[in-house]
Structure 1
Amino acid sequence: MSSPAPSASPADPVASSEGAIAVPGLKRTLTTLSLVGVMYFNTSGGAYSLEGVVAEVGPGLTLLIVLLVPLIWALPETLIVAELSSMLPVEGGYYRWVQRAFGRFAGFQNGWMTWVYSLLDMALYPVLFNQYLAYFVPGLGGPARWAVSLAVIWGATAINLRGAFRVGRVSVFAGAFIVAGFLAFALAAIPNISHVPWKPFSTGGEFGAGAMGLALSTVLWNYLGWDNASTVQGEVVDAERTYPRALFLTLPLVTLGYVVPLMAGLAASDGTTWREGGWPQIAEQAAAFGGRWIGGWLALGGMVSALALFNSLLMAYSRIPLVMAADGLLPAALAKTDERGTPRNAVLVSAVFYSVFSLFSFGHLVTADVLLYSLALMMEFAALLALRIREPGLRGPFRLPVGAAGVAVLAAVPALVLTVVTVLNLRDPEYGAPAVLSALAVAAVGPALYAIARRGT
């Protein structure tokens, strides 16, 4: 993949009625292919963690959720984000969209919730790395696992410090390795298919509302993040066209990447024996040939996926403190870029926080993760509706062929999903209720932090 000639990003258009400040020194190096790679790891990274959903609620119910979520959650989000990214192709993405629609206070709240959400989200990937490392090196103790987590975090940080182009290139090659691994697994499982993949439909009476809530949260988490890469639109070539194009290429890639290995694996093996982190063992059980070899490929793929997920998301999330600092809401040092156009300080500070949060457990993290992300996402949906009404002339190359009422209906569907998931999570005293209440408490801190930030400007 050849490197495009870097060019300085033009000043971002005004992103707020109160006057946002553009970030100087950015370079446009991300093309459609590299952006697809980044988006793939902003949202997916392969079918890893879905084997745990099968263990929670059963094969048939897992397949049903995995097929419905893209229709009632990912597709509406993708369409709305595509219009916003085409309308306002600016560095900071969703933070700038909300800021333009509702002002600096609302933009800060969106940025705050996203930042806290990122702390939770990024702690998941070192955990996943260790899960699949255990296939090769079983029995690692707690200190060793944390050391591995730090290696993942700072390895990805080193890639990020080389610039956005390098992150995009790594994402493309890592994505190809993972997609090929699951495709090889599906092909090897075909001769062993002995039953329909959706039987048994569920685990019977063994799961309740709490387990269902956690399963839904995990599948939603596997479809979250279509707006994440919008934060680097100031570093994308022809951003107003490239971002929507990359969205519509990545969504089917992600969906098929879940459905194909799940269908093949469940039809060729006993889904009731599946466990979280179990893809290598599933390959050995389901594959008619090369099971051990493919199992090792999937285990290595899990490690590659976790590193690439952290790598691409570190780039996306680090741009939030970058633009907030440019607006004077965080220390000015976070707004500085180096000769590559990389916000070095924002990347390094982000990596330090993520190192600390890697100590938390997966179950608690994923539930709060989904809720905080969803609250921020609802602000973005509301931003499109507000901009459609107040600034009808503001449009980009891609625009949904519906009016404001159609946008409201489209946004209402994922909002309803969020409500259902939250209610189900509240029924789980171990993971759900504490995580939901903690997420709401964190969101409530935002106004006080904004008042402090304003006094510092």
Structure 2
Amino acid sequence: MPGNGGYVVWVDHAFGPLAASLMGTWKYACGAVGAAAFPALCSDYLARVAPAVSGGGGARVATIATFNVALTFLNYTGLGVVGWSVVALGLASLSPFVVMVAISVPKIRPRRWAAATAGEKDWKLFLNTLFWNLNGWDSVSTMAGEVERPGKTFPLALVSAVCMGSLGYLLPLMAAIGAIDAPPEAWGDGYFADAAGRIAGKWLKYWTEVGAALSSVGLYSATLSSAAYLLAGMADHGLIPSLFAARSPVFNTPWASVAVTGAVALGMSFLSFDSIVAATNALYSLGTVLELAAFVWLRARSWRGPTACR
């Protein structure tokens, strides 16, 4: 079903507007709140280079606010700009990890992979973070109306993204753990940069910090776009006021949806990372249950729309 709104449209066809409204609310809140994690992560990495950004002082607040406002404006300029900028940021952010993996190969000792922390494990935090890292693949459906031939473009893009994302997590992690003797307790926020420094020197540490910051920029832009176009899709289908479907006369983007989503993300950016992850996971889980129920229901009824995207 090509068109903005994605899973909200699916649930609307399956269970009606009330269920679609619930779906849209849960998924929108998940996206808007989830985007708030990335300005904080970016600030954490910048703090390793500029200590003034650390803590809760004015420099950190200004950094987070500037991050939000600048990238919200980038989304206002259109998905074409966002899409190509995210591709460039993705390549730039992955490059130091590719170099780190290559340099690590002769230093890897497999015995280090078996190291374990002493005492009780925080499985709740681990599973929450893992789920948060690996969900959201369905969010691209909210922008299907902006994509040429989504039935062919999306499957290829998703397969490529899942493969690249999985390798992007697994290979650098195995390389860093296997190449240095570091206790598992050392692996806190931003430790990848420290590991890179120990493997190859300060130049790779700083490059990794820049790459991680750029990754946060790209992830924020993509998440904000998905949430904003979900809001616009809901307005197109009459689930919320039509103002949120209004398009900019200059860039043809849903300016009200982009602005509101940016404001929500800015307001949530000062929560703790763990709180943001827990909230987004809960909201995403609720939406996913309803999304899968709609999928089963529509398949059982062999529903076919007049312009079904297959």
In the superposition, the TM-score normalised over structure 1's length comes to 0.64
Query: What is the percentage of aligned positions where both structures have the same residue?
Result: 32
Match in the other structure for 1:163: 78
Match in the other structure for 1:284: 197
Give the conservation status (yes or no) of the 8 Å contact 2:17–2:239. Answer: no
- Does residue 177 of structure 1 match 2:92? yes
Q: Of residues 112, 117, 130 in structure 2, which corresponds to 1:203?
A: 117
The 1:397–1:93 alpha-carbon spacing in structure 2 relative to 1, beyond 3 Å, is: closer
The amino acid across from 2:140 in the alignment is A
Distance in 1 between residues matched to 2:210 and 2:71, nearest whole Å = 17
Distance in 2 between residues matched to 1:204 and 1:168, nearest whole Å = 44
Question: After superposition, where does 1:387-406 map in structure 2 within 5 Å?
Answer: 387-393=298-304, 398=310
Match in the other structure for 2:65: 150
SS of equivalent residue, structure 1 residue 181: helix
Distance in 1 between residues matched to 2:99 and 2:149, nearest whole Å = 35
Match in the other structure for 1:244: 155
Distance in 1 between residues matched to 2:109 and 2:261, nearest whole Å = 48
Match in the other structure for 2:294: 383
Distance in 1 between residues matched to 2:274 and 2:257, nearest whole Å = 28
Distance in 1 between residues matched to 2:9 and 2:183, nearest whole Å = 44
Distance in 1 between residues matched to 2:308 and 2:205, nearest whole Å = 45
Give the conservation status (yes or no) of the 8 Å contact 2:34–2:223. Answer: no
Question: After superposition, where does 1:61-210 map in structure 2 within 5 Å?
Answer: 88-140=1-53, 141-142=55-56, 143-200=58-115, 202-207=116-121
Moved more, 223-232 or 113-122: 113-122
The amino acid across from 1:387 in the alignment is L
Per-residue deviation at 1:396? 5.6
Aligned alpha-carbon RMSD (Å):
1.7
Give the conservation status (yes or no) of the 8 Å contact 1:280–1:299. Answer: yes
Runs of 4+ in 1 over 3 A off after TM superposition: 392-398
Distance in 1 between residues matched to 2:256 and 2:37, nearest whole Å = 23
Unpaired runs of 5+ residues, structure 1, are: 1-87, 399-457
Per-residue deviation at 1:392? 4.6
- Does residue 353 of structure 1 match 2:293? no
Match in the other structure for 2:235: 325
Number of corresponding residues: 304
Give the conservation status (yes or no) of the 8 Å contact 1:146–1:358. Answer: no
Unpaired runs of 5+ residues, structure 2, are: none
Distance in 2 between residues matched to 1:115 and 1:220, nearest whole Å = 18
Match in the other structure for 2:247: 337
Distance in 2 between residues matched to 1:167 and 1:160, nearest whole Å = 6
Give the conservation status (yes or no) of the 8 Å contact 2:32–2:223. Answer: no
The 1:393–1:221 alpha-carbon spacing in structure 2 relative to 1, beyond 3 Å, is: same
Q: Which has the higher contact order (CA 8 A, sep 6+)?
A: 2
Give the conservation status (yes or no) of the 8 Å contact 2:94–2:211. Answer: no
Per-residue deviation at 1:278? 1.4
The C-alpha deviation readout for 1:119-149, integer Å capped at 9, x for no partner, is 3211111110111001210143423212111
Give the conservation status (yes or no) of the 8 Å contact 2:100–2:172. Answer: yes
The 1:197–1:250 alpha-carbon spacing in structure 2 relative to 1, beyond 3 Å, is: farther
Higher helix share: 2
Give the conservation status (yes or no) of the 8 Å contact 1:336–1:344. Answer: yes
Per-residue deviation at 1:192? 1.9
The 1:278–1:310 alpha-carbon spacing in structure 2 relative to 1, beyond 3 Å, is: same
Q: Of residues 277, 280, 286 in structure 2, which corresponds to 1:369?
A: 280
Q: Of residues 167, 170, 180 in structure 2, which corresponds to 1:259?
A: 170
Give the conservation status (yes or no) of the 8 Å contact 1:182–1:298. Answer: yes
Distance in 1 between residues matched to 2:308 and 2:33, nearest whole Å = 33
Distance in 2 between residues matched to 1:160 and 1:194, nearest whole Å = 44
The C-alpha deviation readout for 1:80-130, integer Å capped at 9, x for no partner, is xxxxxxxx2221111111111111111100001112212321111111011
Distance in 1 between residues matched to 2:309 and 2:229, nearest whole Å = 24
The amino acid across from 2:153 in the alignment is T
The 1:248–1:204 alpha-carbon spacing in structure 2 relative to 1, beyond 3 Å, is: same
Moved more, 148-157 or 251-260: 148-157
The C-alpha deviation readout for 1:372-406, integer Å capped at 9, x for no partner, is 101101111111111111135559675xxxxxxxx
